[in-house]
Amino acid sequence: MAAGFRGPSARAQRAAYPAGYRPLFLGTGTGGGGDRGRVHRWSVGRDRMRRTKIVCTLGPASQSEETMREMIRAGMDVARINFSHGSHEIHARNIALVRRLAREEGQVLAVLCDLQGPKLRVGEIAAQVTLREGQDFNLTTRPVPGDDQEVNFPHPEVIGDVRPGGRVLLDDGLLELEVVGTTPTDIRCRVITGGPLKSHKGVSLLGVSLNLPSLTEKDREDAAFAIQQGVDYLALSFVRRAEDVSQLRDLLEQNQASIPIIAKIEKREAVEAFEQIIEISDGAMVARGDLGVEAPAEEVPIYQKRIIRLANEVGKPVITATQMLNS
């Protein structure tokens, strides 16, 4: 994840935040800059001339002590914890470990926790399966073990909104299904674009307007855990409007916490309302994977540049994320 922007002036920073509010400021992109105003801890102690910082996700492939140490030495400025996967026990272990390693390496490193948000996902699949073009495949609310014929879809509230002929995208659009019919428990589909499918991959129902809460019960539990861990930033997923950010801000204030909020922009509604969203957020993230499902791929760079420009103008950090160095 990365994105750079000119370090904001002290005047711009004062205008961007309410009186008395002292955020740990990220200067450029995912951190840094801010040289004439508040300096975020991400920019201290390493490569002061590097204007763009690096956010790395800690997960199964990168949670060993050796790998984390190598990542810190290679230039990781921010460790991202993805609440869509893993338990609080695992996350607490990773946060403690990466902080200890950063101290040992003499580096100052921030921790960003990413709330899952109201994203639709498939359930458990016993092993990776491969869907073939033209085959039938069901999304079902029944508690079935996932295989190459059907998978649990624990979102019964949306089935009534799905219509035959609709498109269903799985795993950030890598797989595409066509809806052929529904029952009270199932969305029956035909595979248009096949490929491998693993547990808990995202589901997008194109053209279906979902009335889902901006903060789920899981998000509230994860936010409480993040407060307990004293993390540096919280990223709010699937923001649609400024009020979504306000809800998280209220939750933090109720718990006497002032963790800065990064609004993840991955919905068309968020792109259209971005000026209002960035006004009350502490930063933004261009989540290109999910945004690329919502919009044609050729439009995503246009949205990305606009979001970065508007964040720069108000002196707030902006992160470009997903599909980094994908080729």
Instruction: Confirm whether 264 is a catalytic residue.
Output: yes
Question: At residue 107, what is the residue type?
Answer: Q
**Cα–Cα distance, 294 to 77 (Å, whole number):** 30
Instruction: Confirm whether 220 is a catalytic residue.
Output: no
Name the phi and psi angles at 294, rounded to 5: -75, -30
Instruction: Confirm whether 163 is a catalytic residue.
Output: no
Pairing, β 150-152 against β 136-140: parallel
CA distances from 54 to 51, 88, 153 (A): 10, 24, 34
Residue 233, helix vs strand vs coil: strand
Instruction: Confirm whether 218 is a catalytic residue.
Output: no
CA-angle at 99, arms to 95 and 101, nearest 5°: 120
Q: Which letter does DSSP use for residue 157 in this model?
A: G
Question: At residue 279, what is the residue type?
Answer: E
Of 264, 267, 288, 316, which is the active-site residue?
264
**Residue 220 is encoded by which pair of tokens?**
């509230």
Of 80, 119, 249, 288, which is the active-site residue?
80
Of 51, 99, 121, 268, which is the active-site residue?
121
- Catalytic residue numbers read 80, 121, 264, 322
